Amino acid sequence: MKKILVTGSMGQIGSELVSHLRDRYGSSNVIASGRRKKNGSIADQGPFELLDVTDSEKTEAVVRNNKVNTIYHLASLLSATGEQDPQALWNINMNGLINVLEAARAHGCSVFFPSSIAVFGSQSPKDKTPQDTITRPSTIYGISKVSGELLCDYYHLKYGLDIRGLRYPGIISNVALPGGGTTDYAVLIFYDALKDGRHTCFLKEDTALDFIYMPDALEGAVKLMEADPAKLRHRNAFNITAMSITPKQLAAAIKEHKPDFTIDYEIDPVRQEIADSWPNSLDDSEARTQWGWDPQYDLKKMTTDMLEVLAARIN
């Protein structure tokens, strides 16, 4: 039987992954955790532990006391926040990861580690960026994700731990807001479209980046964790994507539903520089062939769903 711990569960992915896992494996088998507890969240709907992953003893104790055998390790700072405080990012992303890997080693847990398109940098091929290519990022977030990928591979090779992971592109979702990322505009634009009919974007109109919709992000993580290991040549750090889009294209897709919607641009130089260093589009063929990555949402389908779900919630 699976006993799952989700770290960083109050964040954008965690808020939805916990419910997804509880539906699949049973509520009592999925322990949500985070540095803070948000009232009225998934923390109130099943087991929850207050956990700061930079605390190695507490991390090990939570795994031991709950007889955890699988960890989805989501606790992380994102790209834009990282540039404001690189040392804090390193502490949370790297010390947090090694504490989780050590707890996994002590108790024989499988681990899911979300990496990011941020592992790529200006020397990586820009279009259809391959699975195996140059990864020399220029952000501290990207550096922590490349180091994390290597560390996960090392724990697999050295200690035989079953560690798997995805390189997430921007994730568009409608439950918890993302915080401190470069791709956040693609979520905020929907809230603004419904509330004000207009959005001021912090990236240039022609900045192409990869995105996926949250249901595909969740299904991808679970599908990879359940995949037959004999078929995985990489295990860790799989490129995945569903759409490569620009702010202008996203605004046009929203306009099809809301003709009066307008967008203007006030460029944030820090986030623009980060976005410019990332790929325009990824090649995700290895994920498709090795474990069946098969996203269900493209730009049109995701936009229709986002507007419907958010409109119902906001009203």
The count of residues in the chain is 315
Q: Which of 79, 93, 207, 241 binds ligand AKB (CB under 6 A)?
A: 79
With binding defined as CB under 6 A, does residue 144 bind ligand AKB?
no
Eight-state DSSP code of residue 71: E
Reference 103, options 60, 64, 151; nearest CA is 60
What is 128-185 written as a DSSP string? SB-SSS----SSHHHHHHHHHHHHHHHHHHHH---EEEEEE-EEE-SSSPP-S-SSTH
Measured between its terminal Cα atoms, the distance across the chain in Å is 41
Kindly state the smallest distance separating residue 149's Cβ from ligand AKB, in Å: 13
Instruction: Say whether 265 is catalytic.
Output: no
Asked if 170 interacts with ligand AKB (CB under 6 A), we say yes
Among 74, 78, 201, 225, interactor with ligand AKB by CB under 6 A? 78
**How many whole angstroms separate alpha carbon 177 and alpha carbon 184?**
8
Structure tokens at 199: 């959005």
CB of 179 to ligand AKB, least distance (A): 10
Binding segment for ligand AKB among 14-22, 24-32, 54-62, 168-176 (CB under 6 A)? 168-176
CB of 54 to ligand AKB, least distance (A): 20
Task: Among 182, 239, 244, 303, indicate the residue that binds ligand AKB (CB under 6 A).
Answer: 182
Quick count: other Cβ atoms within 10 Å of Cβ 110? 17
Closest contact distance (angstroms) between CB of 211 and ligand AKB is 9
Of 72, 141, 185, 297, catalytic: 141
Query: Using the rule CB under 6 A, is 11 a contact of ligand AKB?
Result: no
Residues contributing to the site for ligand AKB (CB under 6 A): 78-79, 116-118, 141, 168-170, 181-183
* Positions marked catalytic: 141
